[in-house]
Amino acid sequence: MLMVLWGMMIMAMAVGGLVLYMRRSVLEDVDAAKAFQARLLAESGIALAFHPNLKRNDPLLHQQVSDVKRYDVKVSTEGARIAINQIAMKESVQDICRRLFIVWGLNPEKSGILADSLKDWVDADDRVSPLGAEDEHYTLRGAPQFPANGPFRHLDELLFVRGMVDLARRKPDWRDYFTLHGDGLIDVNEASSEMLEVVCEVTRAQADAVVLLRRGPDTEANTEDDEPFEDFDDVQEALGLSNWDFEDIEPRLTMSHPIRRVVSKGRAGDFEVILTAIVGPGVNLLEEQHVSPQGALSMEVARDGGTPERLN
Condensed to tens digits (0 to 9), the pLDDT of residues 273-288 reads 999 999 999 899 999 9
Share of the chain above pLDDT 70, in %: 84
Using 50, 70 and 90 to split pLDDT, how confident is the model at 27? very low
Pick the range with the lowest mean pLDDT from 6-10, 70-74, 157-161.
Answer: 6-10
Please indicate whether residue 300 or residue 19 has the higher confidence score (pLDDT).
300
pLDDT value for 34? 85
pLDDT value for 5? 56
As a whole number of angstroms, the distance between CA 220 and CA 226 comes to: 8
pLDDT value for 150? 95
pLDDT value for 177? 97
The predicted-structure confidence for 109-168, as pLDDT tens digits, reads as follows: 999 999 999 999 999 999 999 999 999 999 999 999 999 999 999 999 999 999 999 999
pLDDT value for 54? 87
Share of the chain above pLDDT 90, in %: 73
pLDDT value for 14? 54
pLDDT over 90 (residue 57): no
The predicted-structure confidence for 193-247, as pLDDT tens digits, reads as follows: 999 999 999 999 999 999 999 999 998 888 889 999 999 999 999 999 999 999 9
Q: Is 69 exposed, middle or buried (0-12, 13-18, 19+ CB in 10 A)?
A: middle
Using 50, 70 and 90 to split pLDDT, how confident is the model at 33? confident
Instruction: Using a cut of 0.85, tell me whether the model's pTM lies above it.
Output: no
